[in-house]
C-alpha cells in the first residue's frame, strides 16, 4: 500500500504562508490604537539628540515626566530621505505624549507628528513644527493626549 504525503505537505505549506502573510500586516486589537510618531524635514536641517515618547501606559495623564514607562531613543539613525518614525500598538484607554530634542544643522522647518488609528479605522493626529538654524538646539513636544 502506497502512502501519499503530498496533502500533508500542501496543508503545512498553506498554513505557513497564511502565518507569514498575517505577520506582515499591522495588527490592532479591538479597542487598541496604532500610533506613529514621525519627525520629517530633517535632511540638511537638523539631527535628533533624542526622542522621548509614551508607550500608551496610561500613567502619563498630567505630567509625562512622572511616567517611568516613557521610552527614550538616543541619537537615532536618520535615513537618507530625512524621516524618522516609531510605530507601536497601545491599549485603550491610553495616554500618549512625545518630545523630540534636536540640533539645527541648517536653516529650515522640522515637523513632529503623532498619528493614531483605532481598530475600526478612524485616523486622528497632532503635528507641531520648529524652525531650526545651524548650531541651535530645539525641542518639539506633542502634549499629553488621552485616547
Neighbours of 83 (CB within 10 A): 14
Picking from 100, 96, 56, the residue whose alpha carbon sits closest to that of residue 76 is 100
Q: Tell me whether residue 53 is in a domain.
A: yes
State yes or no: pLDDT of 116 exceeds 80. Answer: yes
Assign 62 a pLDDT band (cuts: 50, 70, 90): low
Q: What CATH number does residue 63 fall under?
A: 2.60.60
State yes or no: pLDDT of 16 exceeds 70. Answer: no
Q: Record the pTM.
A: 0.71
Domain count along the chain: 1
- Evaluated on CA atoms 93, 21, 80, 124, the torsion sign reads negative
Domain with 118 in it: 31-146
Amino acid at each position: 500500500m502506497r502512502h501519499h504525503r503530498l496533502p500533508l505537505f500542501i496543508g503545512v505549506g498553506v498554513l505557513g504562508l497564511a502565518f507569514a502573510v498575517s505577520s506582515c500586516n499591522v495588527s490592532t486589537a479591538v479597542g487598541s490604537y496604532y500610533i506613529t510618531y514621525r519627525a520629517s524635514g530633517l535632511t540638511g536641517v537638523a539631527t535628533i539628540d533624542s526622542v522621548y515618547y509614551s508607550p500608551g501606559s496610561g500613567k502619563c495623564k498630567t505630567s509625562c515626566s512622572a511616567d517611568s514607562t516613557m521610552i527614550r531613543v538616543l541619537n537615532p539613525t536618520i535615513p537618507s530621505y530625512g524621516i524618522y518614525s516609531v510605530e507601536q500598538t497601545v491599549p485603550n484607554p491610553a495616554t500618549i505624549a512625545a518630545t523630540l530634542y534636536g540640533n539645527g544643522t541648517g536653516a529650515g522647518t522640522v515637523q513632529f507628528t503623532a498619528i493614531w488609528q483605532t481598530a475600526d479605522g478612524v485616523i486622528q493626529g497632532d503635528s507641531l513644527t520648529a524652525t531650526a538654524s545651524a548650531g541651535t538646539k530645539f525641542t518639539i513636544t506633542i502634549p499629553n493626549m488621552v485616547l
